[in-house]
């Protein structure tokens, strides 16, 4: 049987057929396609903070991208540009804490990487342009930024993302975020943007716990998902 990979979902207004602006639990199909291409079965997980029992049916977990994390998760008040989804925060925090306790393979993407850091005792920059002085990580609405990052040699991030065309651990990635990791907590930072923004975190004491700030599902980076699925099979 194919491993079963759960993907947390957005809750946003959506339209289909005759139904206009209905609240919907959804996810970009690129996540599903990436998991399917890696040899696993994707299951979409809407927000649910009752329990984490669904993890018993999963072989791996992806915390997907989306809206900002609520700063209450790391003891701060929301800034003027912070746009959070408390239902996702509650449900995903519950799932992630349980997954980490049971060594379930976990991949956090964008928001998911930030939740990993916060869950492990870290905190975020609520608005990166105030820190780095540019909008290059989110150039405009619906526009991905592309920029270079440097990967730590020998890290899980380097293993799954590659050494780059020059073999020096430098690659180009696509990003869309205005928040970023200020403190990784107990996690290890294993990739940085040229402006110092944290681009990957991981827990080397776990079989597979990795967060990436970029969007491999949109860029066709299959190795990250193949590595997650390989971990799910063990």
- Quote the crossing angle between the two packed helices 86-101 and 111-119, to the nearest 10°: 60
| Mean pLDDT within 102-110 | 98
33 or 220, which is more confident? Answer: 33
Q: What per-residue confidence (pLDDT) applies to 224?
A: 97
d(CA 33, CA 49): 27
Q: What per-residue confidence (pLDDT) applies to 234?
A: 87
Q: What per-residue confidence (pLDDT) applies to 213?
A: 98
Give the 3-state secondary structure of the chain: CCCEEEEECEEEEEEECCEEEEEEEECCHHHHHHHHHCCCEEEEECCCCCCCHHHHHCCEEEECCCCECCHHHHCCCCCCCCCECHHHHHHHHHHHHHHHHCCCCEEEECHHHHHHHHHCCCEEECCCHHHHCCCCCCCECCECEEEEEEECCCCHHHHHHCCCCCCCCEEEEEECCCCEEEECCCCEEEEEECCCCEEEEECCCCCCEEEECCCHHHHCCHHHHHHHHHHHHC
| pTM of the model as a whole | 0.96
Q: What percent of the chain has pLDDT over 90?
A: 91
Residue 14 has pLDDT above 80, yes or no: yes
Residue 169's pLDDT band, with cuts at 50, 70 and 90, is confident
Residue 162 has pLDDT above 90, yes or no: no
Active-site residues, by number, are 110, 215, 217
Q: What per-residue confidence (pLDDT) applies to 167?
A: 65
| Mean pLDDT within 119-144 | 94
Kindly list the domain boundaries of the chain, sorted by start residue.
4-233
Rounded mean pLDDT of the chain? 95
| Mean pLDDT within 158-180 | 86
d(CA 30, CA 215): 10
Residue 155's pLDDT band, with cuts at 50, 70 and 90, is very high
Residue 166 has pLDDT above 70, yes or no: no
- Quote the crossing angle between the two packed helices 222-233 and 29-37, to the nearest 10°: 60
Residue 65's pLDDT band, with cuts at 50, 70 and 90, is very high
Task: Output the CATH code of domain 4-233.
Answer: 3.40.50.880
Residue 72 has pLDDT above 80, yes or no: yes
Residue 168's pLDDT band, with cuts at 50, 70 and 90, is confident
d(CA 194, CA 173): 12
Residue 164's pLDDT band, with cuts at 50, 70 and 90, is low
| Mean pLDDT within 182-203 | 97
Residue 177's pLDDT band, with cuts at 50, 70 and 90, is very high
């Amino acid at each position: 049987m194919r491993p079963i990979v759960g993907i947390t979902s957005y809750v946003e207004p959506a339209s289909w057929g005759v139904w206009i602006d209905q609240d919907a639990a959804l996810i970009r199909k690129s996540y599903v396609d990436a998991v399917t291409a890696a040899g696993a079965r994707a299951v979409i997980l809407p927000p649910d903070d009752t329990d984490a029992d669904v993890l018993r049916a999963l072989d791996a977990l992806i915390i997907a991208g989306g809206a900002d994390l609520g700063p209450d998760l790391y003891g701060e008040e929301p800034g003027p540009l912070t746009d959070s989804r408390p239902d996702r925060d509650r449900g995903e925090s519950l799932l992630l804490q349980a997954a980490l306790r049971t060594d379930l393979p976990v991949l956090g993407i964008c928001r998911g990487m930030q939740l990993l850091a916060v869950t492990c005792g870290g905190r975020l920059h609520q608005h990166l342009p105030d820190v780095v002085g540019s909008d290059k990580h989110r150039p405009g609405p619906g526009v991905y930024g592309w920029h270079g990052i440097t990967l730590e040699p020998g890290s899980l991030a380097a293993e799954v993302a590659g050494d780059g065309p020059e073999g020096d651990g430098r690659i180009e990635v696509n990003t869309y975020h205005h928040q970023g990791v200020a403190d990784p907590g107990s996690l290890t930072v294993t990739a940085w943007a040229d402006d110092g923004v944290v681009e990957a975190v991981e827990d080397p004491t776990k079989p597979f716990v990795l967060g990436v700030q970029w969007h491999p599902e949109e860029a066709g980076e299959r190795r990250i998902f193949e590595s997650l699925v390989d971990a799910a099979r063990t």
